[in-house]
A and B are shown apart, each in its own frame.
Chain A
Amino acid sequence: MSLLWKMRFIIRTYWKQYLFAFLCLQLVAVLNQLPPWLIGWVVDEITTDSLYPEELGLAIGGILVTAFLIYGFRFLWRSLLYGASVDIVREQRDQLFAHFTRMSPSFYQRHTTGDLMAHATNDLNAVEACVGDGIMTLVDSIIAGVTVLVAMVVLVSGKLTLMVLVPFPALAWITSRYGTQMHKHFGQAQARFSDLNEEARETVAGIRAVRAHQLNKRQSERFFQQSRRTVEANRSVGHVEALFMPSVNIFFGLAFVIALMGGAWLIQDGEMTIGMLTTFTLYLGQLLWPMMQLGWQFSLFQRGSASWKRLERLMSVTPDIADKPDAVPAPTRHDLHFDIQAFAYPEAFPAESEELNPARTVLENIRLSVGSGQFVGITGRTGSGKSSLFRLLLREFNLPEDSSITLGGNNIDNIQLQALRSQIAWVPQVATLFTGTIASNIAFYNINASQTDIEKAARLAAIHDEIMAFQDGYNTLLGENGISLSGGQKQRIALARAFLADHPILLLDDAFSALDMKTEATILKNLHALHGHKTVLLITQRLPELIRADQILVLEDGRILEQGTHQQLLEHAGWYARIFRQQARSLELQPLVAVESEKAVSPVQEAP
């Protein structure tokens, strides 16, 4: 119930719908009292042999009209009330999604996609059930229950009503107890079932290992036991279920026995007629439903409350990264200056890889100035902090006070987030494609791009010919129902995306790793053609890509190991020079070593 209080601001928007629904519920409840009363009246007229055809006609007509009115009002309240619950869920879902789009990367490190999906589906469903069925049963059981009681007292007999109510507290107790018991056992049965699911998954997914290690017997035995446990849990559910209706029936039957016995007594005393008793028992039948509902809605609200709490907690997270109040639009100059004293990833950040370990300083003493239109190479071992540099420039994380990155003389913290991002086209290490056509994937940054522009970008990324080789060309579908591309093709689509974006700054994070050397060379050539127009930062492990770079940064353990032009670094004769010579030598030996992953995925793959 406290849930409804918490949700009052959301529900309030729909108060008119709810109010009208309640009104309809009340009308239905009142109209429901009419037929039993008419029947009682007819019964009395029959027993006293004074039923006139006009009276009968009136009674039948009355019941018929009531029937259609009730039908109409029932339709109305359902449409209003459940309609409102659907609208509330739609609104909440939209808001939740909008909230998700504002969350910074650290949020996505803390919550898995699966968890967030569950919130957006299961929890919202539970909330829908609450603001729909929950509110309905709550209000209806009160409205209908009170209306029937009033009709019993006013139209028949207060005395008999009091007598009949004796078993009802027990009935209410049973239903609410049943609700909680059922919830508990059902939860256990569900848990056993997912265990069973996991057990089956283990065997099926690991069928080779099961065969190789001769585990048929072990796995069968485990599955058998798990299935047994599922059976046991379901037995408990069955017991509670089997107990419920019979015990309700006994207490409810008791009320009928009391009604008939008491009625007989009252009729004998002349306080009641047989027709009134008929009416009364029919009313009594109408009381069962509201009583049972009272018990059910309890667990409904319990579940809804838990879900709402989870959703609220999620919605209350404020993004780590947001515009400052005095944030400025994008600067016109595009020179970059990095001045980083020390940077470590924030706490509560699961150390899924060594690089993200919060205890570790990822970058230290980084000073780098990039003039507008320059081509800068960044290299170093895996985990040396190269990608972190990009993450900071994209403002995925905030820098500590004593460090800064400036763009055109403005600290990026002071630039509007949107504006900052519209200056940068970023090609991540792992190319991400979205469900949709190839064209829409290339036009990811600018959805309104013309086909000519898309093709131009694809040519720059050396992927145009391969796209044209697909049956549907640029309209080829990617994703779940579409084709899957090879790693190299994905990488080049992501590159085309960045070329089409045409932002002044281009960040390439190991973006050629899955390409063969010939393709790589073509793209590099296209990239160099942009020199002076676009600032390019390229992370790579293939040093020959950096021969023409304006400056090269070698990172080691988050620190700058070497910095300079290709020529300078060669003369320096350090790490760069050594690795470059090795790579160059093998290049001469084998000018076109095909990289495996670039080979298009053949239709028939070797069985894994």
Chain B
Amino acid sequence: MKLLSRYQGLHNLLGWGRPYRRGFVTAFVLLVIATCFEMASPWVMKIILDQYIGASHQDMSTLAWLGGALTLTYVGASIFQYFQSIIFNNNALEVIHDIRQKVFAHLLTLPMRYFDSEPMGRLVSRLTNDSEVIRQMYVGVLPAILRGGMKLVGIFIALALLDLRLMLLVMIIVPVLLFSMHLYQKYSHPVVHGVRARLADINTLLGESLANMRVIQAANREQELRGEFAGSNQGWRDLRRQEINVNSLLLMPFGNLVQTLALAGIVGWFGWKAGYTTVEVGTIYAFINYLARFFEPFRQIAQQLGNLQQALVASERVFAVLDETPEAAPPRRNEQTATAGRLEFRHVSLSYDGRHKALDDVSFTVEAGQFTAIVGHSGSGKSSLINLLMRFYPWQGGEILVDGQPLETLDEEHLRQSIGLVFQEPYIFTGSLTDNIILGNSAISPEQARLAAEKVHANRFISRLPGQFDHVPAAGGQSLSTGERQLLSFARTVAQDPRILLLDEATANIDGETEQAIKEALITLREGRTTVAIAHRLSTIQDADQILVMDKGRIVQRGTHAELINQAGSYRELYLSQQMEEQLQSA
């Protein structure tokens, strides 16, 4: 059953090569020709030894001809081999390119839930490392197995032509080699795993120690740690030495041993045969020569079979992504953009896992152009509201309306154009600052991007950067401060000009100057837009038209700041404790 599924996996994997069938077939034909040339060399040598050197009549022109023929076998084999490799390699790379493309495109259609359930590193690894393993299979394993297999077939045909009975005798070494491989698998497996596990221990200890060296030194723990480290290291060393010994016993030296033993057998066979019949020297030589060529492809195939296993496992992981069902295609029923921007939640409830309610019967309305703020502890359901408006997750009960239209009927593209989301931790994409404001929207010119940045006072920090708007920040925007990233994302929103603004306020501390800029920019940002903001600092929402206080997925209080501050309740608590904190910070 397992074998069958593996075979199925291989079949699937090879199926990707179908569009490039012609290239692969060409490469295969070239391979056959190259192998024929290669196999011809010893045969020509045999002819030279028997017909020319061994024979009594010797004329130079025959020798020259034979010499030319021998050279031709080498040159021919090399040329066909070269073209074969290149054609195979190039086509194989196209296959990998296709696989990567397809998987990436498919990944983008998967529901958000999928991204939550899989660690990010693992997903990335599927696109890159796993597909890299498949690449190695296509450009390394497959050709090696094909080439090696072809060679083995060629060698056996040649040997059979030389001396069928001896060829059959020589076949004995095949099970011997197979048995040695079996032994190798059996004995190397635990050792190789052990070495890896020890190395993982060493790395964990190393990483932890390096990151916390201050603490370790303050506690005078260096000595013990060195001891612990040396212990793991010693364990690694012992296993590594075992690995070396197993390799030496069963890999290269063993193959060489069998080869030399076979040599002794051939000598014995022909020596014994010479007793009763004439033996051609060329035949002996050719036999030895063919046999010497036998071991290399055998070793390679054995090695590559292991890699093939890995590639199949990797391909299973890659193709598992393709098996995931994409998000239900957005219905094209409703092509209109939100024009006014009125939002309404009617008895909405949501659960991410089917057991715990993240939102519980939530109803509220945001009139077009109004400003609604949401406050509450983390886990109270604030971000869930935004998640739903962005249609990141399906919800279980109730209705969400945008300008009276059900949210789920809105066309994907128009929905995203109507709603702009400002993240708590703005994501900076690779590319220049202008790129990061335009975000691939062809309707926005670089000039408009500049204006947008000016509007939110982002130009102040941009003008200080090398290259200004063409500046390319370090990966993930690390070279920008949190505040600067915020301002950049504001510029983004202003440039895209959505009707509805969803704002997830930053919690991180921002230096004074930037904070002032952000406060001013926020007002610009809200201008003329329906705004829903998750607020952490209550000082920024005192002019909100409506404040919703959330707790455990429910709206527990609602009203304006003035109304809420006069009620006993969690809003007042929050307000007072924050006031204290803020005064402490800014005192």
**Residues on A facing B (Cβ under 8 Å):** 35, 38-39, 42-43, 46-47, 49, 51, 53, 56, 59-60, 63-64, 66-68, 70-71, 74-75, 78-79, 82-83, 86-87, 89-90, 93-94, 97-98, 100-103, 105, 108, 113, 116-117, 120-121, 193, 196-220, 222-224, 227-228, 230-231, 234-235, 238-239, 241-243, 245-247, 249-250, 252-254, 256-257, 260-261, 263-264, 267-268, 274-275, 277-278, 281-282, 285, 354, 381-382, 394, 396, 418, 421-422, 424, 426, 428, 432, 434-435, 444-445, 447, 479-480, 501, 541, 575, 578-579, 582-583, 586, 589-590, 593, 596, 599, 602, 604-608
Contacts and interface: CB of A to CB of B under 8 A. Distances in A.
A285 B248 CA distance: 23
Contacts of B75: 250, 253
Contact of B218 (A196, A281, A394): A394
B576 A589 contact: yes
Contact of A606 (B378, B440, B476): B378
Interface string B257-296: 1001101100110111011000101001100110010000
A432 B211 CA distance: 10
A444 B218 CA distance: 11
Contacts, number: 390
Interface in B545-587: 573, 576-577, 579-580, 583-585, 587
Contacts of A199: 430
Interface string B377-397: 111110110010010110000
B104 A220 contact: yes
Interface string B42-81: 0001001100111000100001000100110111011101
Contacts of B221: 444-445
Given A78-B248, A228-B97, A382-B585, A200 B241 contact: no
B417 interface: yes
A250 B120 contact: no
B72 to A, nearest CB: 10
Given A63-B263, A214-B413, A593 B139 contact: no
Contact of A86 (B93, B213, B215, B241): B241
A74 B417 contact: no
A212 B275 CA distance: 88
Given A38-B267, A86-B241, A263-B53, A100 B210 contact: yes
A249 B296 CA distance: 15
Given A94-B233, A606-B381, A242 B86 contact: yes
13 contacts: A78-B248, A108-B213, A121-B199, A208-B423, A210-B108, A220-B105, A238-B89, A253-B71, A257-B71, A264-B52, A582-B583, A590-B573, A607-B387
Contact of B587 (A103, A575, A605): A575
B70 A260 contact: yes
Nearest to B85: A242
B115 A204 contact: yes
Interface stretch (B15-23, B122-130, B337-345): B122-130
A573 B153 CA distance: 98
A551 to B, nearest CB: 20
A231 B97 contact: yes
B390 A211 contact: yes
B112 A208 contact: yes
A364 B226 CA distance: 38
A364 B49 CA distance: 95
Contacts of B212: 432, 434
Interface in B179-236: 199, 202-204, 206-222, 224-226, 229-230, 233-234, 236
A579 B120 contact: no
A98 B285 CA distance: 60
B116 interface: yes
B352 interface: yes
B540 interface: no
A435 to B, nearest CB: 6
Nearest to A243: B82
Contacts of B275: 51, 53
B253 A261 contact: no
Contacts of B45: 256, 260, 281
Contacts of A268: 58
Contact of A274 (B54, B215, B378): B54
Q: Which of B224, B245, B249, B274 has the most CB of A within 10 A?
A: B274
Contacts of B222: 101-102
Nearest to A101: B222
Contacts of B256: 70-71, 74
Contact of A67 (B123, B264, B378, B584): B264
B234 A90 contact: yes
Contacts of B49: 260, 274, 277-278
A121 B380 CA distance: 45
A224 B379 contact: no
A238 B261 contact: no
Contact of A105 (B128, B213, B241): B213
A240 B520 CA distance: 59
A216 B108 contact: yes
Given A212-B416, A215-B439, A418-B220, A86 B237 contact: yes
A274 B71 CA distance: 21
Contact of A202 (B54, B355, B430): B430
A56 B221 CA distance: 71
Nearest to A446: B219
A437 to B, nearest CB: 15
Contacts of B247: 78
A197 B124 contact: yes
Nearest to B382: A606
B41 interface: yes
A67 B573 contact: no
B104 A254 contact: no
Contacts of A60: 264, 267-268, 271
Contacts of A254: 71, 74
A241 B85 contact: yes
The 6 closest A-B pairs by CB, nearest first: A253-B74, A242-B85, A246-B78, A238-B89, A209-B427, A67-B260
A101 to B, nearest CB: 4
A94 to B, nearest CB: 5
Contacts of B426: 209
B582 to A, nearest CB: 10
Nearest to A71: B257
Contacts of A208: 112, 390, 392, 423, 427
A87 B237 contact: yes
Contacts of A243: 82
Nearest to A96: B206
A141 B416 CA distance: 66
Given A239-B86, A246-B78, A606-B379, A75 B249 contact: yes
Contact of A257 (B70, B475, B585): B70
Given A70-B257, A113-B210, A586-B577, A264 B124 contact: no
A204 B107 contact: yes
B248 A421 contact: no
A46 B263 contact: no
Contacts of B54: 47, 274
Contact of A121 (B128, B203, B225, B248): B203
Contacts of A285: 292
B323 interface: no
Contacts of A224: 101
A354 B492 CA distance: 28
B113 to A, nearest CB: 9
B264 A64 contact: yes
A461 B300 CA distance: 62
Contacts of A435: 204, 208
A40 to B, nearest CB: 10
A77 to B, nearest CB: 9
Given A67-B264, A202-B476, A235-B93, 20 more contacts: A42-B271, A64-B261, A89-B237, A90-B237, A101-B216, A113-B210, A113-B211, A117-B210, A202-B430, A210-B108, A215-B429, A227-B104, A231-B94, A249-B77, A253-B73, A274-B53, A589-B576, A602-B379, A607-B116, A608-B383
